[in-house]
A and B are shown apart, each in its own frame.
Chain A
């Protein structure tokens, strides 16, 4: 009886302390007013207005001003897929456990798959003109492959050798463009292609090229990840 009383008193006191801390934290957060003084962002917008000729400022921040960070980010994604493949690829023959035996889905996916791939390519190529870019378009292409995995079942499989080749070639293309910038303009990821006018497809110098490489790499990686996770049952 006394132990039960002790536990309940402890619970009450802990919840009291936690609620006081939540109230204090919310008070601090709600009083936190963001005074929009001249920040890094407005400086970057002013630089972006006359240096890169990119319509989308977020794209120029991701691939140009913080391009080295994007290289590290893509490397982290590659290392994660590498770890997943080490853990899950123990046996060669795997069974797709998420396929639906649905005739409507099987027929409709033949029409939908090219449209999804085309939309993904559009989002990747227009990453410097409109919302979107390499990461978003890559995930859209991978979702098209996910639809194929769900509809076709074991009839549809992707050669992992080809996926690894595409992934490593696009990663090498990223680094190659960065090194060409180092050779031509004395700066890693420097812009060595003439920049066009704002709003045209061929504008922004190396920014669309880098985003296209990132898009190919991300789509190959997420497709490999989906294939690893969707075929986890061993064939016995």
Chain B
């Protein structure tokens, strides 16, 4: 009975729906939260759904990781695609860089104005 769950199309649909839910959580947080820290961290959560989707859609039940070990002694077509993993490695590092730069802007803004919430910002004119 459990074999029907261990099929590649079923696992792909599970990964699709799960990463879509994570994307929704991140977007709802980024749109509805007023604290600047929470906005940036919600964007980071929304970004992580992309990582799961990219890696997960290249997962396949009958394939192994692209690493030669004692059991798998040579490269063959029985291995998953290594290119998405390398690209996601790049994306994770760039995500860290962008997140740290944004959080440093938040800290500098708080030091300059003493405000942290989006609905209290009025540097570019009156709010009302």
Contact = CB atoms under 8 A, between A and B. Distances in A.
Interface of A: 25-26, 29-30, 33-34, 36, 39-42, 44-46, 48-49, 55-58, 61-62, 66, 69-70, 73, 76-77, 79-81, 83-84, 87-88, 90, 130-131, 135, 198-199, 218, 225, 228-229, 232
A36 B9 CA distance: 13
Contacts of A41: 80-84
Given A57-B67, A73-B94, A83 B104 contact: yes
Nearest to B13: A30
B104 A228 contact: yes
Interface of B: 9, 12-13, 16-17, 20, 57-58, 60, 65-69, 74-77, 79-86, 89-90, 92-94, 96-98, 100-101, 103-105, 107-108, 111
Contact of A45 (B20, B79, B98): B79
Contact of A61 (B76, B77, B83): B83
Nearest to B73: A198
B90 A70 contact: yes
A58 B75 contact: no
B66 A45 contact: yes
Contacts of A90: 111
A43 to B, nearest CB: 10
A126 B92 CA distance: 21
B68 A55 contact: yes
A31 to B, nearest CB: 10
A30 B108 CA distance: 43
Nearest to B63: A36
Contacts of B92: 135
Contacts of B89: 58, 62, 135
B90 A39 contact: no
27 contacts: A25-B20, A39-B83, A41-B82, A41-B84, A45-B76, A45-B77, A45-B79, A48-B75, A57-B75, A58-B67, A58-B82, A66-B86, A69-B90, A73-B90, A73-B94, A76-B93, A76-B94, A77-B93, A77-B94, A79-B97, A80-B98, A80-B100, A81-B100, A84-B104, A88-B104, A130-B67, A198-B68
Contacts of A40: 81, 83
